[in-house]
Amino acid sequence: MTTKVRGKEISPMSRNTVLTVKILITASLLFWLLHTLHWDLVFNKLAGVNYVILGLSLVVTSTCFVVCALRWKLIGDSCGYPITLGESVRAYFMASFFSNFLPTGKGGDIARGIIVAKQRVYSLGGIMGTILVERINGLIVATGIMIFTSLFIVSRIATLKNSMISSVILVLILLIASVICLSPQFQELLIRLVRHIRWQRLRNAIQDVVGVFKTFREKPNMIIIVTGFSLLNQAILIVSGFITAQAIPGFHAPWYSFAIVTPLMLFTALLPSIGGYGVRETGYVVFFGWFGVNAETAITFAILRLTFSLMFSLAGAFLFVVDNGQKEKDADSAQPQENLTV
């Protein structure tokens, strides 16, 4: 039921309600983990970690930032929003910080869109369109890897049968949605609907997003190249996850398990939570449990991967502070020159 205040309807699912739901999900899952795991075993495993192997995993994982940044740059360049590789890499690191500390796991994507749009004086709708193209492409590739791997091992692990069915349904939904969104008929319909929106800025932003999808659709070679970078990104994440597992004593899981768990964690991150906390850790416990990994070992893996993420976040926070400081210096240095011309 909705209520009216001064003639305006207020939905019961307000921002505060959504935030409360996210807090409850995160708190509930963290509470469950804290009270069901044997933390003395977790601490023992952390104490026995091979830091040489772990360091190698960190280096491999960090290369994802360059691969993803280059993928985003290619999409932007091809759709009329060119950025340098350096700008893209910096924005990705800053996004890592915001993703970990905003009330949504995807807040970083919005943050990097805003950062680049302000730096380049681009349309925010257009920049967000490039990010949407990037994310949709990555999700489709991740789902494809998961299904391809599952086809070869579904007969060995009974619990994967239900996962396989869910994955097939998911990829079909993604493919159908992508075909619909990229079709000229859908985009023309969307533009017609957008014309009825009274708020000019929102109307322009949606039109810019549609324009990015339309431009990208007309460049099949670029679609192939971007898909290749998405495959490379997933391969790096799978390999780095496997290396991280080798650093943990008693982590026994087949190599192909990472080609299933890694894409699944990408979808888990879409669930409502605060920065992905709780949901991410529970996901590792459940998914690695399919392959015989006990909960304490899986949560050790989750803690190490979270540590990587927080390290990248600190680098992103540093870059964000430095960039803002540089902008203030530039503004201060420009001020006397502006006064002299008055």
Q: 43-83, pLDDT tens digit by residue?
A: 999 999 999 999 999 999 999 999 999 999 999 999 999 99
Rg value, the chain, Cα: 22
pLDDT of the residue at 4: 45
pLDDT of the residue at 266: 84
Q: Give the 3-state secondary structure of residue 157.
A: coil
Tokens 């859908």, residue?
Answer: 186
User: Is the Cα dihedral 90, 96, 101, 102 positive or negative?
Assistant: positive
CA of residue 13 relative to chain centroid, distance: 24
pLDDT of the residue at 10: 42
Backbone angles phi, psi at 5, to 5 degrees: -125, 115
Q: Which residues pair with 4 in a beta bridge?
A: 9
Query: What whole-number distance in Å separates Cα of residue 133 and Cα of residue 79?
Result: 10
124, two tokens? 């925010």
Query: What whole-number distance in Å separates Cα of residue 69 and Cα of residue 240?
Result: 18
Backbone angles phi, psi at 9, to 5 degrees: -80, 140
Query: Residues in the chain with pLDDT < 70?
Result: 1-15, 102-106, 154-172, 174-175, 178-200, 202-203, 326-342
Does pTM surpass 0.85? no
Q: Which DSSP category does 95 fall into?
A: H
